[in-house]
Amino acid sequence: MMLVEIWMMLVQSVWKLVQWCGSEFDGLLVFDECHKAKNLIPEAGSQPTRTGKAVLEIQEMLPQARVIYCSATGASEPRNLGYMIRLGLWGDGTSFENFHQFLGALEKGGVGALELVAVDMKARGMYVCRTLSYKGADFDVLEAPREERMMNMYKKAAGLWVELRVELLSAIEYYAEDKVNSAQIWRLYWASHQRFFRHMCMSAKVPAVVRLAKEALAEEKCVVIGLQSTGEARTEEAVAKYGVELEDFVSGPRELLLKLVEDHYPLPPKPDCFQQDEEKVMEFQRKRHYGPDMSLKGRVSKLGKLEDVSDNGSDEHPAPESDHESTDSDEEFYMCQICNTEEEKSSLLYCSVCAARVHPSCLAPPWTDTLTDDWSCYGCKEKVENYFKERDAYLTELSKRYDAAVERKSKILDIIRSLDLPNNPLDDIIDQLGGPDNVAEITGRRGILVRASDGKGVIYQARNMKDVALDMINIHEKQQFMNGEKNIAIISEAGSAGVSLHADRRAKNQRRRVHITLELPWSADRAIQQFGRTHRSNQTSAPEYRLLFTNLGGEKRFASIVAKRLESLGALTQGDRRAGPSLSAFNYDSNYGKKALTMMYRGIMEQDTFPVVPLGCSENQANLEEFITKAKAALVSVGIIRDPVMCNGKNGGKLTGRIIDSDMHDVARFLNRILGLFPDIQNRLFDLFTSILDLVIQHARTEGQLDSGIVDIKAKSVEMKESPKTVHVDTLSGATTVLYTFTIDRGVSFELANAILEERLKDEAGSSSDGFYESRKEWMGRRHFLLAFEGSTEGMYRIIRPAVGEASREMPLVELKSKYRKVSSVDKVGKGWQEEYDASSKQCMHGPKCKLGSHCTVGRRLQEINILGGLILPVWGAVEKALAKQVRQIHKRIRVVRLETTTDNRRFVGLIIPNSAVESVLEGLHWVQDIDD
């Protein structure tokens, strides 16, 4: 009802606004905080938000109004631009008929295409962004170490959730009568499952948070701890149950689990609440087995009324007899339903159930006892007694069933209460860091738990003090932090909106901020907002960000989606991308991640072989089979493998089942669910998934299909070959699309390569495998040489070749030694290196007989690079058509590149156009003009 009322208010507000403006309104509309309308075009399976629809309707009803979209939150996905219909990026006169075409093009173009949208909008003068750079800010990803007590808690909790799932399956089967309700139970179960283990992961990080905070304070810095939820509701419920004084801090995970079982454990209908009294039962029996009785006098009277004429044929009715002449008795007469003899009412027995009237002597055996008002005949008495016996037996069975269910529920609750689970992380951190006197809490909580003055137990008290109202307490706490009265602040999403906690030059507290993320937000939008609490303009120092994770594989899910968004926020916020690489290592929810997950599931289900050997399974086949068995059992326990069956006979007692199609590539569900597994199997599954993902990404990089956003073209020499050409001019803004042509030299001479190796050997930073290598096989009549040295990761080697310089990907040592052999002869390497260096300036690595001729650039040292820069979206369609005609797959994909000239250090960003596609692009645009220097 509330949602309907809100929607009606929103509709009325839209109409009032339109009515006030008038249909001819041509003034300015500013949609402030417009990101709230971003879900107008949601992902498949979701519905548009009412806010998004209202924003769209306002713009459609006021077609002549000027519009400004204003927000401090960047669009992290192209679909978030759906309500910005006035930008002119799609529709009539553009390369895209509608928003869905525009969205599809950007999704195919990857992160680089998003960069181009920002560049394009800036070129037309429709985009202004003033985001503060993250220059000077430090980002560290820290892993919280395992503690034995916490791991024991985690294992027991994981086991309990598995048992609870089995218990719910059984209870729903035996007790649940409403299948719709059972579906709701499972939705709540998995939602609670995710929140529970998320809180367990947060609790596992509490010791690390306390340690980092104390270290920062010792270094004369101050601390901001960021989290999303505070567990306030569970604290309030616990206080309501247990009282204001508690023995210890409330365990958020325990209260969450208790609430799930208390509110949603399925119980059968409760007996005793619908028992009928005997009078209603007998009335029911009477109406069911017999009709209403009628006395003889009544039947005679009814027959008399049916006669219409007198015996003599006269139309007149006979005159009634006078009262004093009447001889009828006041006593009513009835028929005995056994002997059919008419008798006075007082002489017959009356059955209160079937309404039958009989002589006492006609019954067999004759009735001789005293008569009661609720007397019933022998037949009815037997039926009623049988009914009550059956009813009592049924109610007894119901009662036993209900009591058994209540007992099972009670046992589960007792197990949960006895389980050793961590305290609410927020209360625990505040307590360990000195209590509310030392920690400023900026959250949405109304009350807090504090340790009693005598040290025994904790007390619940309101957050606001006598001289500070509750709605002003967060401002008061923030001011205490900024004044240096408290050097630790804890912020949540609910309480920190609009709050600035940076080292402001105007504030008394100008210590450098150390921002610790105890709980990372669900989206990059919110992550940026949380980071922005401590990173503002006019600050004396940029903050240090400590992104804290546990080594539990499943927890990285909470960084996955954030990393995915952060990669795309760089363009649309003009921010420094230094925040991105820290999280990019945890970006699993991608197309590559989906492919890797499918490959892993198929290996576990024995539909395919694993593309990599699972950890600990390289010794023999028995280890692999044991791992597969454990993996199947684990996935069954978290509901990913469904309909499990233990097959005997030729399958040797193997566990079988199925994974539905939608789950085969659902990375988010996989990472959510494995949180509920024992840490060992959880990490083995996660390690297998990431190993396969690395292989998938490596193959994509080798094939030139890896989406790396804007790719930097690095070369020894980059020079502009000729004057740029204008290929398109926007009629409205006058912005241009320009074709640039560059000449680049990617080669590395032997002298430079040898100097690089000698420098590395001097620093003693290399490994024994560093050095020059020669290919084991000949290619085009000669062997090839390269320089390899160990990179940032052990076992991975950076590769430098004579013709193309440093390779974009590092090569595993195993692959390096299988394809190449190390060469110690400097003369041999120098000669072969120089030959390849010279030959690559004239032809590609395929030789003079290459099918693509001069257009082929594979392995060519000297190249021509064509970049289409400036305004891109208006010519997008022409570029797509031209690239679709290319022979090589890598040339068909739209790629965004960045390049910097070596003479004047000018930077250019745009689409790379293969040499073979330049003519097709120009023909599609029909307009070229040289630009004077």
pLDDT of residue 854: 64
Cα 510 to Cα 501: distance, rounded to the nearest angstrom: 10
pLDDT of residue 310: 40
pLDDT of residue 319: 43
Q: What is the DSSP string of 61-87?
A: H-TT-EEEEE-SS---SGGGGTT-GGG
Please name every residue paired with 771 in a beta bridge, in sequence order, or none if there are none: 788
Secondary-structure percent of the chain, ordered helix, strand, coil, rounded to 5: 45, 15, 40
Exposed/middle/buried for 331, CB within 10 Å: 0-12, 13-18, 19+? Answer: exposed
- Pair type for strands 513-517 and 222-226: parallel
pLDDT of residue 92: 85
Which two structure tokens, joined as six digits, stand for 660? Answer: 């539905």
Amino acid in position 567 = E
φ/ψ (deg, to 5) at 69: -100, 120
Amino acid in position 544 = E
Place of tokens 């922005």: 532
Mean pLDDT by 10 residues, the chain (933 residues): 49 80 90 86 80 91 92 76 91 86 81 78 83 76 83 91 90 71 86 88 90 95 85 56 60 87 84 50 46 38 37 42 43 76 77 79 78 74 76 78 87 90 87 90 82 73 78 90 94 78 93 89 67 87 87 64 49 38 59 91 90 80 87 92 73 76 89 88 89 84 65 84 86 85 88 86 76 86 85 79 81 86 86 84 70 68 87 85 79 81 87 85 70 46
- Greatest Cα pair distance, the chain, in angstroms, is 154
Which alpha helices (DSSP H) does 265-353 contain, by range? 278-289, 296-306
pLDDT of residue 932: 46
Q: How many CB atoms lie within 10 A of CB 508?
A: 10
Q: How far is CA 705 from CA 109, 394, 702, 851, 890, in A?
A: 11, 69, 8, 22, 7
pLDDT of residue 296: 36
- Counted residue by residue, the chain has a size of 933
pLDDT of residue 503: 93
Exposed/middle/buried for 168, CB within 10 Å: 0-12, 13-18, 19+? Answer: buried
pLDDT of residue 849: 67
Cα 43 to Cα 48: distance, rounded to the nearest angstrom: 9
Q: What is the DSSP string of 666-685?
A: -HHHHHHHGGGS-HHHHHHH
DSSP state of 318: P
